């Protein structure tokens, strides 16, 4: 009878332990369900992005004595020097002293790089000779008149304002390909001769 009582006590103890374990497990499930059912935290609002003034863009036309004339897009904080560099840099005939490279570029404006005026070759015969040569050259230029586009040589075209050796060769190529010029206005058909150059050349050439 005493052995039976001890067995019963053991069974009772085991039952109590089992009940406690089940209770603990159930409590754990309730906690999980409560956490799962809780409303999700609202996502943090995305930060508002403010565009810096430096990100604004401007469009300018770079013309004149640069290697790649054209229309370019730059940041609003860019300078004229940046526009000239973007256009391939100034040519050897450029007169950068006549241009403010530090100025800011403005949207819709033209950056015109001027060319140096062709130098008059001086005579080596002293001061009097130099003065005489300059006078003779000036008189010759005055009497020569406009250059004939259909008969001019590369050297004659090269000395025209805004025309270098490369542009002079383009004019000759265009003349040969089209059988000559029928009017001065056709000069604007030559690649690289825009409104600015055309205005400077109109009184210097003829057909």
The per-residue pLDDT for range 127-149, each reduced to its tens digit, is 444 444 444 444 444 445 688 88
| Whole-angstrom distance, CA of residue 180 vs CA of residue 124 | 39
Q: pTM for the full model?
A: 0.36
| Whole-angstrom distance, CA of residue 70 vs CA of residue 193 | 12
Mean pLDDT of 156-173: 86
Mean pLDDT of 191-200: 84
The per-residue pLDDT for range 65-120, each reduced to its tens digit, is 999 999 999 999 999 999 999 999 999 889 888 789 999 999 999 999 988 877 65
DSSP secondary-structure letter at 63? E
Domain residue spans of the chain: 55-113, 145-206
pLDDT for 61 beyond 60: yes
CATH node for 55-113: 3.10.20
Q: Let me know how long the chain is.
A: 207
pLDDT reported for residue 20: 78
The two tokens of residue 157 are: 């075209």
pLDDT for 38 beyond 60: no
Of the candidate CATH numbers 1.10.150.320, 3.30.360.10, 1.10.3720.10, 3.30.420.480, the domain formed by 145-206 belongs to 1.10.150.320
């Amino acid at each position: 009878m005493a052995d039976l009582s001890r067995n019963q006590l053991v069974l009772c103890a085991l039952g109590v332990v089992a009940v406690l374990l089940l209770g603990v497990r159930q409590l754990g499930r309730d906690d999980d369900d409560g956490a799962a059912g809780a409303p999700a935290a609202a996502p943090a609002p995305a930060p508002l992005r403010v565009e810096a003034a430096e990100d604004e863009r401007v469009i300018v036309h770079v013309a004149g004595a640069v290697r790649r004339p054209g229309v370019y897009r730059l940041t609003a904080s860019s300078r004229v020097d940046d526009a000239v560099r973007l256009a391939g840099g100034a040519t050897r005939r450029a007169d950068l002293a006549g241009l403010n490279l530090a100025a800011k570029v403005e949207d819709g404006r033209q950056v015109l790089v001027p060319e140096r005026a062709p130098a008059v070759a001086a005579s080596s015969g002293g001061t009097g000779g130099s003065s005489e040569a300059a006078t003779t050259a000036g008189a010759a230029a005055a009497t020569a008149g406009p250059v004939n586009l259909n008969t001019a040589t590369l050297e004659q075209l090269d000395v025209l304002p805004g025309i270098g050796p490369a542009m002079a060769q383009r004019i000759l190529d265009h003349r040969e390909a089209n059988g000559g010029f029928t009017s001065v206005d056709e000069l604007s058909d030559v690649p690289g001769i825009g409104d600015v150059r055309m205005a400077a050349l109109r009184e210097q050439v003829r057909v």
